Amino acid sequence: MNFPPMMTEGSSRAFKFASSLPALGWEPVVVAFHSVSGPDVEEFPFDVHYVGQELSLQDFGAEQLSRCVHGLRQKKLSFPRFGGNVRSNAGAGENGWEKKARTVAEQVLHDNPDIEMIYAQAPPFAPHRIALELSGKYHRPVMFDCIGPFAVDKLEMTIMHSGHSVTMPSRELKEFFLRKYRGELSHDDISIIKNCYDPETLQALGAGHEAGALMRWVFHIGMTNGSDLKHFFYGLSAFVKSQLAVKGIFSFAFTGSGYDSAMRYLKKYGLEDLVEAGPVCSHREELELCLRADIFCVVLGGSRGAEIFVPERLYDVLGMNASLAGVLPDGLARQLILEAGGRTASIGNSTEIAGLLQDTLHLWYSGQLPAVADAAVSNYHIRSSMQEFLREMAARLPLV
């Protein structure tokens, strides 16, 4: 739902697919949630039909806007939505969004009879439900993209047995579904389209990393609870206290859905003066922040599903010049970071976390921070992902 302006989980993946299609002779049309207006808002190479309210960069503070575009719970009654106020979550009120999205999508299909396929992503399930209904009404094939398990099992099987294309970003997620529905699904029921980075998008950004006296860290926080963050920030605080001086040596920036929670712990441990950037409100802004970093560190908790979850921003960073690190449990994200030449520590071990940070600082001082491995750079280029995407389209579209 949070397509432009902020590429949260799932929407970054869909955005890359849509952005690549025009050069291949296809014209994507997107139905999305809130729009954001202002002089710094980036434009997109396709039509976007918004079903929520238009939010102005001039009318809302950065913290409020960041919470909205990330779909997080609002602290105050800040954003108008469908004639009312947002009381809990900018992405909440799914029924209101779903009703209007269905109307807008039907109008798009009516106005564009040459549309040949519908793409829908879940969770949440609403886009899949709308796509299934529109497929039956307008006789269009659907590509159901599943980036994680659904909350309601029977809805999963509705999609799996629909006869339409079902895609997922990793073999690990596919195997999760095959184990869950052993005997009801086969390997041929699910296709894999990997997540990726787009070098053209990265090349269009501003100036990237420059070696200097200041070491910049970006910590991407996701799927964490209070216990996870307590361990991480205790280790971070111990690392900072072990330094003879910190001002002018390194700076921190925080991204991801856990930004707000991170800010509370930074204040608790007296580390807020080391934070270089405030809340991030746009895709481009977050990418530029990562591009300037010496270290991009994924911080994940041990929540349900964490073992098969990889933040989409990690794939973008594979195409940058930053080194990788991770403070996280065992799982797919840790595996990817290690295969890409990065280093990791366990989220539940504060001593190990402090040691990872200290060792990374020593590598930076000596000019030996490891770069992303060439194999990872090659494997996750958008070229291979779009080949998989087009192959899946070709298998489902009728022959002309």
**What does the pLDDT read at residue 4?**
54
Q: Report the domain count for the chain.
A: 2
Residues 34 and 181 in one domain: yes
Residues 19 and 153 in one domain: yes
**What does the pLDDT read at residue 212?**
66
Number of C-beta neighbours around residue 293 at 10 A: 24
User: Does a structural domain hold residue 158?
Assistant: yes
User: Does a structural domain hold residue 112?
Assistant: yes
Tell me the pLDDT tens digit for each residue of 343-371. 999 999 999 999 999 999 999 999 999 99
Number of C-beta neighbours around residue 174 at 10 A: 21
**Both tokens assigned to 260:** 């707000």
User: Does a structural domain hold residue 3?
Assistant: no
CATH code of 69's domain: 3.40.50
User: Does a structural domain hold residue 95?
Assistant: yes
Show the domain range for 267.
204-378
Residue holding tokens 């999305």? 32
CATH code of 371's domain: 3.40.50.2000
Residues 67 and 191 in one domain: yes
Residues 22 and 158 in one domain: yes
The pTM of this model reads 0.89
Residues 172 and 32 in one domain: yes
User: Does a structural domain hold residue 109?
Assistant: yes
Residues 275 and 181 in one domain: no
* Sign (positive or negative) of CA dihedral 356, 357, 362, 365: positive
Residues 169 and 224 in one domain: no
User: Does a structural domain hold residue 6?
Assistant: no
pLDDT in tens, the chain (400 residues): 355 556 678 888 999 999 999 999 999 999 987 676 665 666 778 888 888 777 776 677 777 777 776 666 665 444 444 333 333 333 334 567 788 999 999 999 999 999 999 999 988 888 999 999 999 999 999 999 999 887 776 778 888 888 899 999 999 999 999 998 899 999 999 999 999 999 998 998 876 666 667 899 999 999 999 999 999 999 999 999 998 777 778 899 999 888 888 999 999 999 999 998 778 878 888 999 999 999 999 999 988 888 999 999 999 999 997 899 999 999 999 999 999 999 999 999 999 999 999 999 999 999 999 999 999 999 999 999 999 999 999 998 875 4
Residues 165 and 34 in one domain: yes
Residues 289 and 174 in one domain: no
Residues 298 and 391 in one domain: no
Number of C-beta neighbours around residue 141 at 10 A: 16
User: Does a structural domain hold residue 348?
Assistant: yes
Helices (H), the chain: 11-20, 62-69, 94-111, 126-138, 153-160, 171-180, 199-203, 226-241, 259-268, 283-291, 312-318, 332-339, 350-365, 374-379, 382-396
User: Does a structural domain hold residue 155?
Assistant: yes
Residues 183 and 122 in one domain: yes
Residues 352 and 209 in one domain: yes
